[in-house]
Amino acid sequence: MILKINNIEVKYHEVILVIKGVSIEVPDGGIVALLGANGAGKSTILKTVMGLIDDQPDKGTIEFMGKRIDGMDTDRIVRMGITLVPEGREVFEELTIRENLLMGAYIRKDKKGIDDDFDRVFEYFPILKERVNQWAGTLSGGEQQMLAMGRALMIGQKLVLLDEPSMGLAPFLVKDIMKVVKRLNEEGITILLVEQNAKMALGVADYGYVVETGEIVMHDEAEVLKNDERIINAYLGE
């Protein structure tokens, strides 16, 4: 397993228990989906993996490629090979597309590799190449999501954590984003995908976990979850 989250508990303000004994395994080369309603704790799990919540997890361990990373600083975690595409995109609005992508490559020294990854990002998202000198703050929501994903790819990581990539996007853009997610995986990048859009997520994922009020309440192969009546009634709107 490239990522193992073992029975973690996370508290806010050292009092409020928001993640309650969560265990998740992400196999190398796979796509794993975290499903659940808004506020279920999905984003908190990703932030905990990335070391973005101070002194957390309160209990349990997180292992990446067999090494414990819980308690590490975020910059060390990134250098080990994990990156996060955050909910809400969070691009640098007063920088251009090119400058945003270069920010993604800040830990790298291999100019040839950086140039190659520029070409790869522009192959995935041609609209970014057309507007490479445009300020990121003037892009549409869909274009900012493409930029956020492209910036993550510039880091050259082994594992990408995607937090709600479909949020606020038109259905046709969601389909385009998910096609890129699938293609990235086919090219060797492991993905942990947080999504409220269960239908889209299970359409690309190999395995899924369902999170409710900070707990894993169900997990199985994606094909099994897609046909489970509880998932259909609660998340697929059928």
List the one residue out of 205, 214, 149, 192 whose CA is nearest residue 1.
192
Greater pLDDT, 155 or 19: 19
The matching CATH number, chosen from 3.10.20.740, 2.60.40.1730, 3.40.30.10, 3.40.50.300, for 1-81+159-238 is 3.40.50.300
* pLDDT reported for residue 236: 67
Question: Would you list the domain boundaries of the chain?
Answer: 1-81+159-238, 91-156
Q: What is the DSSP letter of 41?
A: S
At 176, the amino acid letter reads: D
pLDDT tens digit sequence for 67-104: 999 989 999 999 999 999 988 778 999 999 999 999 98
**Residue 237 banded pLDDT, cuts 50, 70, 90:** low
Which DSSP string do the residues of 189-221 spell out, in sequence order? Answer: -EEEEEES-HHHHHHH-SEEEEEETTEEEEEEE
CA distances from 16 to 58, 59, 200, 214 (A): 11, 14, 32, 11
What are the beta bridge partners of residue 220? 208
At 193, the amino acid letter reads: L
pLDDT tens digit sequence for 142-157: 899 899 999 988 987 7
